[in-house]
């Protein structure tokens, strides 16, 4: 079994690659494991290296050392490879996918707990051929989160300020847009929407909890759709939405399904695990590919399965 550590030096607030390298070497050499560390040189590098390693066909365990973007790169590289499995060693800003492990999320910081850990086969979201593990969304939230990058480039603008400026721009530009939306073959009667979200995981955007029922291995996606609402309404509802209260909000449609088709008037920013693609016609569905994900013994993304001993892969 080969253990491959993909370290993104740009994840989180500062470069932790040196510290992670030392920790990995200490743990892996102490246990006589076959391991390799790769510090990425550019966006997309992790995905390429994981794909190359998975294609060798040998048993492979990949540790995504970064945030959700790094995890997405490793997952895409390992998607569909039965010999490969991925986990998250969180050093990013949001680390949202693993929040689903609830009180056990902190155990992902323990490298030793990730060794010889059990795995499950997880579903993936496919949006026009782009894959996501956690959440794919379009609308108000995607424009704020992804649009913040435009402001981060400006001098004297901090990370928080970039999000505030992006939120202000999004609110001024109008928070709902005309989309044609089809859910599992049924065209929704509404003409304008604020946000459409396909959830495989339960958290995104630094802790927002749009779905409290999504499970990444149930062969379905949990769709969260906010109809057109006013700026004042969104301000009043956003706190409830963030805390997992979507089912209490009448302007939100919650459905479990397999495919969401969206046609926009012009290209829209689409969020895939925090990464951006711009599309005007979207088909968001379950991918035919799955990915193996490993996690500390006794923990689980499904609260009902926490504490159970799963089969280990050595
Ligand atoms: N060497 C690199 N240079 C520039 N960008 C990189 C490099 N390696 C990876 N990336 C990209 O960096 C981006 C941010 O990484 P990541 O999402 O892991 O961290 P984060 O934004 O701090 O965390 P989170 O997404 O959990 O908030 C991703 O788009 C990833 O593809």
User: Can you give the CATH number for the domain in which 71 is found?
Assistant: 3.40.50.10330
Are 70 and 145 members of one domain? no
312 has pLDDT over 60: no
11 has pLDDT over 50: yes
Given the structure tokens 């909890």, which residue do they identify? Answer: 209
On whether ipTM exceeds 0.90, the answer is yes
**Ligand 1 lined by 49 (C-beta under 6 Å):** no
**Ligand 1 lined by 17 (C-beta under 6 Å):** no
Are 203 and 229 members of one domain? yes
Are 223 and 145 members of one domain? yes
In a domain, 312, yes or no: no
Q: Which pLDDT belongs to residue 310? A: 60
Contact of 116 with 312, CB cutoff 8 Å: yes
The rounded distance, in Å, linking the Cα atoms of 258 and 283 is 10
In a domain, 67, yes or no: yes
Vertex 39, ends 34 and 40: CA angle to 5°? Answer: 125
Q: What are phi and psi of 303, to 5 degrees?
A: -55, -30
In a domain, 313, yes or no: no
Are 297 and 256 members of one domain? no
Average pLDDT over residues 112-141: 97
Under the banding of pLDDT at 50, 70 and 90, the label for residue 21 is very high
Are 49 and 188 members of one domain? no
Average pLDDT over residues 282-303: 97
CATH number of the domain where residue 164 is located:
2.60.200.40
Are 190 and 219 members of one domain? yes
Ligand 1 site-directed mutation target among 47, 70, 145, most atoms within 8 Å of CB: 70
The rounded distance, in Å, linking the Cα atoms of 215 and 10 is 29
Are 140 and 261 members of one domain? yes
**Ligand 1 lined by 274 (C-beta under 6 Å):** yes
Are 143 and 95 members of one domain? no
Are 145 and 117 members of one domain? no
Q: Which pLDDT belongs to residue 314? A: 45
In a domain, 216, yes or no: yes
274 has pLDDT over 50: yes
pLDDT (tens digit per residue) in 167-224: 899 989 889 999 999 999 999 999 999 999 999 999 998 899 999 999 999 999 999 9
Q: Which pLDDT belongs to residue 309? A: 62
Give the distance (Å) from ligand 1 centre to CA of residue 92.
Answer: 8
How deeply is 267 buried, as exposed, middle or buried, from its count of CB atoms within 10 A (0-12, 13-18, 19+)? exposed
Under the banding of pLDDT at 50, 70 and 90, the label for residue 26 is very high
How many domains, in total, are found in the chain?
Answer: 2
Q: Give the domain range for residue 216.
A: 130-286
Percent of the chain with pLDDT over 70: 98
Contact of 188 with 216, CB cutoff 8 Å: no
Give the distance (Å) from ligand 1 centre to CA of residue 188.
Answer: 35
Percent of the chain with pLDDT over 90: 84
Vertex 96, ends 51 and 49: CA angle to 5°? Answer: 15
């Amino acid at each position: 079994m080969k253990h491959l550590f993909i370290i993104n030096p740009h994840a989180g607030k500062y470069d932790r690659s040196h510290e992670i390298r030392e920790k990995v070497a200490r743990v892996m050499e102490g246990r006589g494991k076959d391991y390799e560390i790769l510090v990425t040189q550019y966006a997309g590098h992790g995905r390429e290296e994981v794909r190359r390693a998975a294609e060798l066909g040998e048993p492979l365990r990949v540790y995504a050392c970064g945030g959700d973007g790094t995890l997405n790169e490793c997952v895409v590289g390992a998607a569909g490879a039965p010999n490969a499995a991925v986990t998250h060693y969180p050093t990013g800003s949001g680390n949202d996918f693993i929040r689903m492990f609830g009180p056990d999320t902190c155990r992902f910081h323990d490298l030793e707990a990730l060794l010889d850990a059990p795995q499950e086969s997880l579903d993936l979201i496919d949006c026009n051929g782009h894959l996501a593990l956690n959440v794919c969304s379009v609308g108000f939230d995607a424009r704020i989160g992804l649009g913040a990058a435009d402001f981060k480039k400006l001098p004297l603008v901090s990370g928080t300020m970039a999000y505030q400026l992006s939120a202000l721009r999004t609110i001024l530009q109008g928070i709902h847009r005309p989309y044609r939306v089809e859910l599992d073959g049924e065209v929704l009667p509404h003409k304008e929407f604020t946000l459409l979200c396909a959830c495989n995981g339960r958290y995104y955007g630094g802790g927002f909890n749009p779905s409290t029922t999504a499970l990444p291995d149930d062969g379905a996606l949990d769709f969260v759709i906010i109809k057109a609402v006013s700026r004042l309404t969104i301000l009043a509802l956003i706190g409830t939405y963030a805390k997992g209260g979507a089912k209490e909000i009448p302007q939100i449609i919650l459905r479990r399904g397999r495919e969401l088709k969206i046609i926009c008037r012009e290209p829209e920013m689409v969020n895939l695990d925090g990464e951006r693609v711009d599309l005007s016609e979207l088909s968001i569905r379950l991918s035919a590919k799955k990915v193996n994900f490993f996690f500390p013994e006794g923990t689980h993304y499904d609260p009902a399965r926490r504490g159970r001993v799963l089969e280990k892969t050595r």
